[in-house]
Amino acid sequence: MLQRICVYCGSSTGNDEIYTRAAQDLANVLVQNNIELVYGGAAKGTMGILADAVLEHGGAVHGVIPKMLEEKEIAHTGLSKLHVVVSMHERKSMMAALSDAFIALPGGFGTLEELIEVLTWGQLRFHEKPCGLLNVGGYFQRLLGFLDHMQDEGFLKPVNRAMLLADDDPAGLLRQFETYTPPVTDKWL
């Protein structure tokens, strides 16, 4: 049973209100399912929107932010728990340790980097937690296509490609998480 989900998302909101609504919808689904949020600890962008919506619906939010980003990303001061850490590495490690699963909302380099790292950790069997994309408005279609290309070119096993789940509906993604089975094969081809 999922108790906490880490959500990777942007410190900006993007150019379309669909991303704001997606963060709010995800927050609602998390709270309805008694799942606590773990995220990057910021008060702005889709990060702040997501955290605020979870809190407004009565949910718990755990933020993790490096000291050097505490002011730049404007650390959220109203969270259930805010962890201020030394580095990005410590941030990502703590977020992973606190979480039972991972979701990426649309975002930029940081969102993509965090998602790929946690997928790599799963591929190497450092964890067996589900990872998914909330594919809002088809935002991640090209990434999913590129992962298929990696598989077609022999750099990614089909079983590892299948590790990344995707849905345009937060409830649908959670249903996929509930039935997720991690690969039992080694990463190496």
**pLDDT-derived band at 133, boundaries 50, 70, 90:** very high
Q: What pLDDT does residue 122 have?
A: 95
- Whether 10 and 40 have beta carbons less than 8 Å apart is answered as no
Tell me the residue type at 154.
Answer: G
pLDDT for res 185? 74
Provide the 3-class DSSP secondary structure of residue 25: helix
What integer is the mean pLDDT of 44-64? 97
Q: What are phi and psi of 37, to 5 degrees?
A: -95, 135
Q: Tell me the pLDDT band of 186, cut-offs 50, 70 and 90.
A: low
pLDDT tens-digit readout, 168-179 = 999 999 999 999
Handedness of CA 97, 103, 109, 113 (dihedral sign): positive
Q: What pLDDT does 188 receive?
A: 55
Q: Looking at this protein, which amino acid is placed at residue 45?
A: G
Average pLDDT, the chain: 95
Edge-to-edge strand order for the sheet containing 4-8?
Answer: 81-85, 61-66, 36-39, 4-8, 101-104, 131-134, 164-167
Whether 73 shows a pLDDT value over 90: the answer reads: no
d(CA 41, CA 47): 7
Nearest alpha carbon to residue 52 among 88, 89, 27, 72: 27
* pLDDT reported for residue 100: 98
Is the pLDDT assigned to residue 189 strictly greater than 70?
A: no
What is the rounded average pLDDT of the residues 86-115? 97
Give the C-alpha separation, 69 to 96, whole Å.
19
| CATH code of the region 4-178 | 3.40.50.450
Amino acid identity of 126? F
Residue 187: per-residue pLDDT: 57
